[in-house]
A and B are shown apart, each in its own frame.
Chain A
Amino acid sequence: MEFIQFDHVSKSYEKQLILDELDLSVKENSFVTLLGPSGCGKTTTLRLLGGFEKPDSGKIYLNGNDITALPANLRPINTVFQKYALFPHMTIEENIAFGLNIQKKSKDYIDDKIKYALKLVNLDGFEKRSIDSLSGGQQQRIAIARAIVNEPKVLLLDEPLGALDLKLRQNMQYELMKIKQELGITFIYVTHDQEEALTMSDTIVVMNQGYIQQIGTPEDIYNEPENAFVADFIGESNIIEGIMIKDELVSFLGVQVPCVDKGFGTMKPVDVVIRPEDVELDAPGKGFMDGTITDCLFKGVHYELDVQCGEYEWLVHTTKYFEVGQNVSLNVIPFNIQIMNKPESEDEEVMKEDV
């Protein structure tokens, strides 16, 4: 059994099913991100692990022990809450010492820990300050310090950077990774921000409507999405219906294109995913398909183009500028064409509709 194990865990609120028979295992010392749109069940999964909710059915194991019925205060798990949840009537020092006081640690031990934790989150010397004198980013750091001084086996982070601005968020991402390395404990991170997930995690769990859509490394999830939901949620994609004619040959939008995927069978309906940055533009007639540029937006690093090819409008990212109305051809190397099975079961159909 893995370090953390969810075994057929179901949870519903007021007759609405949030998690359906969820199975999930997490390795010790990993940085796992639960990623999905709001209402996908990621926060519920975290709250079940933290002990703030009890599952309707199923078991949760930590380190081989069944913790399903264990109340939150007895679990060796600490949480960094989305809205910081610092105690407003206490100083920073008192906030950080809260858990250690409960464990009846000595005064010297607590003082050392506070110093260490404040240094770790880059707020040395803030001991006596009050909570309202801090900015949002600083409050979030204190919340992290307050959680880690207890030396939990698992740290849960519930969209901790959601309220911060972009620059601060990026800085905090690096700091979180640094803290993770220094502490060497398991991080479970909840977010709806795919960039955050891709930057920090070892493993990403993509969820939607209470089901796990795909588990994998950031590279796996981005480059080889298993279904249309994952492809659409992580980054931008062109998702096109096609037919797998035979191994390594797929037909879509009326053309046959070589690819590298095998084992789908012959004449099988599939979804074809092509990332906008993988589409190369060339002079008309040189690629597998011709089209006309209908829109060109400057996005900083690249231009975002819409290319109309018959019925289908492609999304293309390129660093070169193209005039609207210009005729071009599209090209994709076989390796960058990702083939996905069409949803078969009813549950999978639900996921597809949600896309």
Chain B
Amino acid sequence: MTKAKKGASYLYLGLVFLFLYAPILVLIFLSFNNSMSRTVWGGFTLKWYLSLTSNDNIMSALGTTIRITLASSILATILGTSAAIGIHYMKKRHAALMLGATNIPLLNADIVTGISLMLLFTRFTPLGEFSVVLAHIAFSVPYVIFNVLPRLQSLSEACIEAALDLGATPTYAFCKVVWPELFPGVLSGFLMALTMSLDDFTITYFTKGAGVNTLSTMLYTQLRKGIQPELYALSTILFLLAFVLLLLMNFKRDIKKEAK
């Protein structure tokens, strides 16, 4: 490759990264800004990070988000994994039908899902944290299924039979042979459900009822009053958490590759 070509390709790559990460860099930058302004640099400060902890609104929204996210992603992982196992052992036509039905929540517009879930829930239960958890489970399950199913398909039936043949009870075979093969899929399904639940605004907004706020809906209500710099700090923390999680996952994969 000529020098000019190489330079141009680096320039292009640089531009891609700039457009991808510039907004987040601006956000991180502003979270350390000792001024309410979004355009003027007022010196370095950590005060927004400190005042985060004393802001009741933010702290309660954070608590709600953690509860809803953990509850919904754990339950969705259990449900989705069981569903994937069920679908795997179905007859071909039934499995295709089930997978089609699983696809619909993924493709459906969030706003339609949100409104229809709200209409359904109001008939049976007052809207609140519980209904948000139900809604989040509903849209997370497909992600878990699509992460677990390929692992099941690559697991050969003969391996399970080999375990039984060597004297394993069905439970022992599941723990020692099936689960280790399934686990990476279950984990990535769980992490995806976690991200989807953290991310969601539209469906949460319709199913949360009055008085309940997750971080995303709280940010939305704050927008009308003007965003406080504490929220930059909070967003920075959330971003760094996701970033560390991502690094960890890649790191683990690299170690596994090297072991082989």
Given that A87-B177, A102-B172 are contacting pairs, would A78 and B158 also be in contact in the complex, using a CB cutoff of 8 Å?
no
Nearest residue, chain B, Cβ from A77 = B165
| Bound-complex Cα distance A86 to B166 (A) | 12
Taking a contact as CB atoms under 8 Å apart, the answer to whether B164 and A102 are in contact is no
Digitize A208-239: 1 where CB-to-B-CB distance is under 8 Å, 0 elsewhere: 00000000000000000000000000000000
Q: Is B161 an interface residue (CB 8 A)?
A: yes
A85 touches B158 (CB 8 A): yes
The 9 closest A-B pairs by CB, nearest first: A99-B166, A85-B158, A85-B162, A72-B164, A102-B167, A89-B180, A79-B165, A81-B158, A73-B164
B residues within 8 A CB of A265?
none
B238 proximity list for chain A (CB < 8 A) = none
B residues in contact (CB < 8 Å) with A? 156, 158-159, 161-169, 172, 176-177, 180-181, 259-260
Q: How many A-B residue pairs have CB under 8 A?
A: 67
Q: Is the CB of B166 within 8 A of A98?
A: yes
Whole-angstrom CA separation of A37 from B163 in the bound complex: 28
> What separation, in Å, do the CA atoms of A103 and B176 have in the docked complex?
15
Judged by a CB distance under 8 angstroms, whether A83 is at the interface is yes
Task: Determine the chain B residues whose CB is within 8 A of the CB of A88 once the complex forms.
Answer: 159, 181
- Decide yes or no: A87 and B159 within 8 Å by CB, A102-B172, A130-B260 being known contacts: yes
For B162, what are the chain A residues with a Cβ–Cβ distance below 8 Å?
A: 79, 81, 85-87, 146
Query: A89 contacts B165, CB within 8 Å?
Result: no
Q: Which residues of B contact A147 (CB under 8 A)?
A: 165-166
The reply on A162 being an interface residue by CB < 8 A is: no
Within the complex, what minimum Cβ distance (angstroms) separates A283 from chain B? Answer: 59
Q: Mark A52-81, 1 if CB is under 8 A from B, else 0.
A: 100000000000000000011110011101
- Please name 24 pairs of A and B residues whose Cβ atoms are closer than 8 Å in the assembled complex, sorted by A: A50-B165, A51-B164, A52-B164, A52-B165, A72-B161, A72-B164, A73-B165, A73-B168, A79-B161, A81-B158, A83-B156, A85-B158, A85-B161, A85-B162, A87-B159, A87-B163, A87-B177, A88-B181, A98-B163, A98-B176, A102-B167, A103-B167, A146-B166, A150-B166
Interface residues of A in 294-346 (CB under 8 A from B): none
> Would you give the 0/1 interface string for A80-97, flagging 1 where the beta carbon is closer than 8 Å to chain B?
011101111100000000
Min distance, Cβ A272 to any Cβ of chain B, angstroms: 44
Most buried by B among A71, A88, A98, A132: A98
In the complex, the answer to whether A85 meets B156 with C-beta atoms within 8 Å is yes
A150's partner among B158, B167, B169 (CB-CB below 8 A) is B167
Name the A residues within 8 Å of B156 (CB-CB). 83, 85
Residues of A contacting B166 in the complex (Cβ-Cβ under 8 angstroms): 73, 78, 98-99, 102, 146-147, 150
Q: How far is the CA of A89 from the CA of B175 in the complex (A)?
A: 13
| Inter-subunit contact A85/B167 (CB<8 Å) | no
Most buried by B among A78, A87, A132: A87
Chain B residues within an 8 Å CB radius of A102: 166-168, 172
Complex Cα–Cα for A133 and B260 (A): 8
Smallest CB-CB separation from B181: which chain A residue? Answer: A89
Please give, as numbers and ranges, the residues of chain A lying within 8 Å of B169 by CB-CB distance.
73
A49 to chain B, nearest CB (A): 11
**With the chains together, A102 CA to B172 CA distance in Å?**
9
Nearest CB in chain B to that of A47: its residue: B161
How far is it, in angstroms, between the C-alpha of A78 and the C-alpha of B169 when the chains are bound?
15
Q: Which residues of B contact A51 (CB under 8 A)?
A: 164-165
Look across to chain B and name the residue whose beta carbon is closest to the beta carbon of A50.
B165
A95 to chain B, nearest CB (A): 9
B177: nearest chain-A partner, CB-CB: A87
A70–B167 CA distance with the chains assembled, in angstroms: 12
**Closest residue to A88 on the B side, CB-wise?**
B181
B151 CB, min distance to chain A CBs, angstroms: 12
**Minimal beta-carbon separation of A159 from chain B (angstroms):** 12
What A residues does B259 contact at CB under 8 A?
130
Chain B: minimal CB distance from A35 (Å)? 22
Which residue in B161, B176, B180 is a CB contact (below 8 Å) of A81? B161
- Give the chain B neighbours of A130 by CB distance below 8 A: 259-260
Interfacial residues of chain A within 141-155, with CB under 8 A of chain B in the complex? 146-147, 150
Beta-carbon contact of A85 and B159 below 8 Å: yes
Give the CA-CA distance A130 to B156 in the complex, in Å.
18
Q: Which of A52, A74, A85, A132 contacts B260 (CB 8 A)?
A: A132
6 further contact pairs, Cβ within 8 A, besides A50-B165, A51-B165:
A73-B169, A83-B158, A88-B159, A88-B181, A133-B260, A147-B166
Task: Give, as a whole number of angstroms, the nearest-CB distance from B93 to chain A.
Answer: 14
- B168 — which chain A residues lie within 8 A by C-beta? 73, 98, 102
Do A71 and B158 touch across chains, with their CB atoms under 8 A apart? no
B180 to chain A, nearest CB (A): 5
CB of A340, distance to nearest CB on chain B (Å): 39
Name the A residues within 8 Å of B180 (CB-CB).
89
- Say whether A52 contacts B161, CB under 8 Å: yes
